[in-house]
A = this chain, B = another copy of it.
């Protein structure tokens, strides 16, 4: 079911006005970011690990080694939390208290399931490459059956979650606006640099145009 309303677990409590429960907004944030942070519980203690991910429709896919503790915990039916954060700027106010950041984040909750169908598994691995580099999958060697077997893929439905978004200038206390200090936003963006060819790249193989022009968002 698409996300349209907060649940008791996903309602944004702090700065509630920044909460967004719009499925399309949530998908856009998931599509722009490259890394998620996966939370899981082992022996009652929280662990958070960064990892790549991909989306197909209303499902998020995680992958890794079949021996990954994070994935083994996830496939066992335990709850996971997947959080994605895009940092958009530093918000510099006139008081220390009102300093903030502009950001777009998504928190997804749910129970993941191991993907066992080979076709779905292959589609997820394709989506993982395409998420990072759209159009690239067709030109690289696809996974062998052995690589597919060695890879654990988890599927998490995108049906319980929320986004939180802050944008715009600092909000200072009225009395502070007269202070003679620069205030505003320093925009931040993840940007790509010039591609670095693999030292073993065949010299006849030119830099792909898309690599030289790589951008997110």
Residues of B within 8 A of A182 (CB): 195, 197, 201, 205-208, 211
Task: Determine whether A28 belongs to the interface, using a CB cutoff of 8 Å to chain B.
Answer: no
Residues of B within 8 A of A137 (CB): 96
- Please pick, from B41, B136, B196, the residue contacting A46 in the complex, using a CB distance under 8 A: B41
Q: In the complex, A129→B94 CA distance in Å?
A: 11
In contact, B198 and A193 (Cβ under 8 angstroms): no
A213 to chain B, nearest CB (A): 10
Q: In the complex, A101→B93 CA distance in Å?
A: 35
In contact, A14 and B184 (Cβ under 8 angstroms): no
Contact (A92, B46) CB under 8 Å given A14-B65, A83-B37, A195-B184: no
Residues of B within 8 A of A101 (CB): 34-35, 52, 132
In contact, B41 and A45 (Cβ under 8 angstroms): yes
- Please pick, from B35, B37, B99, B189, the residue contacting A129 in the complex, using a CB distance under 8 A: B99
In contact, A37 and B205 (Cβ under 8 angstroms): no
In contact, B48 and A90 (Cβ under 8 angstroms): no
A205 to chain B, nearest CB (A): 6
Residues of B within 8 A of A14 (CB): 64-65, 67-69
Contact (A85, B141) CB under 8 Å given A132-B90, A136-B92, A190-B188: no
Contact (A87, B186) CB under 8 Å given A81-B47, A205-B181: no
Q: In the complex, A203→B97 CA distance in Å?
A: 23
Most chain B C-beta atoms within 10 Å of own C-beta, residue among A40, A170, A182, A211: A182
In contact, B192 and A96 (Cβ under 8 angstroms): no
In contact, A39 and B47 (Cβ under 8 angstroms): yes
Task: Determine whether A6 belongs to the interface, using a CB cutoff of 8 Å to chain B.
Answer: no
Q: In the complex, A132→B87 CA distance in Å?
A: 13
- Please pick, from B49, B176, B187, B191, the residue contacting A141 in the complex, using a CB distance under 8 A: B176
Residues of B within 8 A of A176 (CB): 141
10 A–B contacts from the bound complex (CB under 8 Å): A37-B48, A46-B47, A92-B136, A94-B140, A96-B143, A182-B208, A184-B196, A184-B211, A188-B192, A189-B193
